[in-house]
Structure 1
């Protein structure tokens, strides 16, 4: 039997300041903090999935049996795109501006979907776009 096509359960970003990044995703984006291990990671609930913020120095080290996962990680800015509900892109632009977050790029794709790009405190690229960007229902 072939398994069903999977969805994404979690997305990881690597950050140099866990508190600043968690504050951005909690206070600006509106995610709920789920679990924190000081100096190692902060996980935040995102509609149907988890955004995992990791200290790259800590995840490159063995967890000494605390976590049953192999060392992993990335260096440099990553990217995450949050799904905006149909017609909410302008509301996100206004919300980000009200929080003093500079919009790095704001444009319309050939299919008419608008994308907003900002940077989190660790310089990760954060996008807000409607699911129609990829021809998904919103």
Structure 2
């Protein structure tokens, strides 16, 4: 059986791409690696890519110079967790609070990790999690 090497991309679908991009750049300090009218791709710690797609803009087959991308889209509030160092969690809480981002929840996990939860402008639930959340993290 061939082996998987990790999750390369995660996608969220947003109503206002400019507003979402401003949030992810300004609040989370993510750097875009590609952007057009349909999507914005952000590097996440040099390990994965967060894709923000304008909702409804990818519902048709995309023809690319090297092939095709099948249609896709999403609706409703989705969830992603971003890994942070244990020593950085309090600083993240202060950073978010200073930018009027409400922390909606906190969890201390049985393996020792901690998480805080907040929302982006489209209502997606974002989590910042320290090691000790999962057996692999």
Gaps of 5+ in 1: none
Instruction: Name the counterpart of 2:61.
Output: 62
Instruction: Name the counterpart of 1:82.
Output: 82
- DSSP 3-state at the match of 2:50: strand
1:6 offset after TM fit, Å? 2.2
TM-score by length of 2: 0.90
CA RMSD of aligned residues (A): 1.5
Instruction: Name the counterpart of 2:31.
Output: 32
1:86 offset after TM fit, Å? 2.6
Gaps of 5+ in 2: none
1:34 offset after TM fit, Å? 1.1
1:43 offset after TM fit, Å? 0.7
Question: C-alpha distance in 1, partners of 2:61/2:68?
Answer: 10
Instruction: Name the counterpart of 1:9.
Output: 8
1:46 offset after TM fit, Å? 0.6
Question: CA deviation digits over 1:4-47, x for unaligned, max 9?
Answer: 33201110001111111111111111110111111x11111111
Instruction: Name the counterpart of 1:109.
Output: 109
> What is the total number of aligned residue pairs between the two structures?
134
TM-score by length of 1: 0.89
In the TM superposition, what are the counterparts of 1:90-129 in structure 2 within 5 Å?
A: 90-129=90-129
Are the equivalent residues in 1 in contact too, given 2:96–2:102 (CA < 8 A)? yes
